[in-house]
Amino acid sequence: MTLMEAVADSTSAENTRQLARKLGEALRPGDVVALSGDLGAGKTQFVKGLALGAGVPDADLVTSPTFVLMNRYEGRLPVRHFDFYRVEQVDLASLGYFDLLDESATVVEWAEKAGGALGDRLEILFEATGPTLRRLTFRPLGERARDLLSRAPS
Amino acid sequence: MNILGIETSCDETAAAVVRDGREILSNAVQSQIDLHAIYGGVVPELACRAHIEAVVPVVEKALEEAGTPLSRVDGIAVTCMPGLVGALLVGVTYAKSLALATGKPLVGVDHIHGHIYAVNLAFPELEYPFISLVVSGGHTSLYHSRREVEHELLGSTTDDAAGEAFDKVAKILGIGFPGGPAVERAARGRDPARIEFARTMLGPGSLDFSFSGVKTDVLYHVRGQDGKHPRALSTGEVADICAGFQEAVVDVLVEKALRACARRGVRRLAVGGGVACNGRLREKAAARGAAAGVTTYFPPGRFCTDNAAMIAGLGYHLLRAGRADDLTLDAVPTKLHRR
Express each pLDDT in B32-42 by its tens digit: 766 666 655 66
> What's residue B338's pLDDT?
41
Domain boundaries, chain B: 2-115+304-320, 126-298
The C-alpha atoms of residue B75 and residue B18 are separated, in whole angstroms, by: 10
> What's residue A1's pLDDT?
47
Per DSSP, helices labelled H in A4-154 are: 13-26, 43-53, 143-151
Q: For residues A15-38, give the mean pLDDT.
A: 97
Per the document, the length of chain B is 339
Partners of A45 on chain B (C-beta within 8 Å) are 212
A7-136 is classed CATH 3.40.50.1110: no
Domain boundaries, chain A: 7-136
Whether residue A66 and residue B43 make contact (CB cut-off 8 A), yes or no, is: no
pLDDT bracket for residue A138 (50, 70, 90):
very high
Positions of E strands within B188-321: 268-272, 295-297
CA-wise closest residue to B259 among B139, B151, B142, B119:
B142
Q: State the complex-level ipTM.
A: 0.85
Letter string b/e over residues A2-17, b meaning 16 or more CB atoms within 10 A of that residue's CB: eeeeeebebeebebbb
> What's residue A131's pLDDT?
79
Tell me which of A40 and A125 has the higher pLDDT: A125
Regions of chain B short of the pLDDT cut 50:
336-339
Give me the residues paired with residue B268 across strands: B295
Residues 92-131 of chain A whose Cβ lies under 8 A from any Cβ of chain B: 94-96, 128-131
> What's residue B177's pLDDT?
79
CB B72: neighbour CB atoms within 10 A? 11
Residues 14-33 of chain A whose Cβ lies under 8 A from any Cβ of chain B: none
Give the homologous superfamily in CATH for domain B126-298: ATPase, nucleotide binding domain (3.30.420.40)
Whether residue A94 and residue B86 make contact (CB cut-off 8 A), yes or no, is: yes
Whether residue B333 and residue A88 make contact (CB cut-off 8 A), yes or no, is: no
Domains B2-115+304-320 and B126-298 share a fold: yes
> What's residue B335's pLDDT?
54
Partners of B158 on chain A (C-beta within 8 Å) are 59-60, 63
Nearest-5° Cα angle at A90, A34 to B114? 100
Question: What CATH number should be reported for the domain whose range is B2-115+304-320?
Answer: 3.30.420.40
The C-alpha atoms of residue B231 and residue A17 are separated, in whole angstroms, by: 31
The C-alpha atoms of residue A68 and residue A70 are separated, in whole angstroms, by: 6
Whether residue B41 and residue A64 make contact (CB cut-off 8 A), yes or no, is: no
Whether residue B337 and residue A86 make contact (CB cut-off 8 A), yes or no, is: no
CA-wise closest residue to B69 among B102, B112, B94, B109:
B102
Partners of A70 on chain B (C-beta within 8 Å) are 85, 333-334
**pTM (2 d.p.):** 0.91
User: What are the tens digits of pLDDT across the range A45-72?
Assistant: 999 999 999 999 998 889 999 888 888 8
H or E element in which residue B184 lies: helix B179-187
> What's residue A3's pLDDT?
60
Q: Who among A63, A96, A130 is closest to B157 (CB)?
A: A63
pLDDT bracket for residue A88 (50, 70, 90):
confident
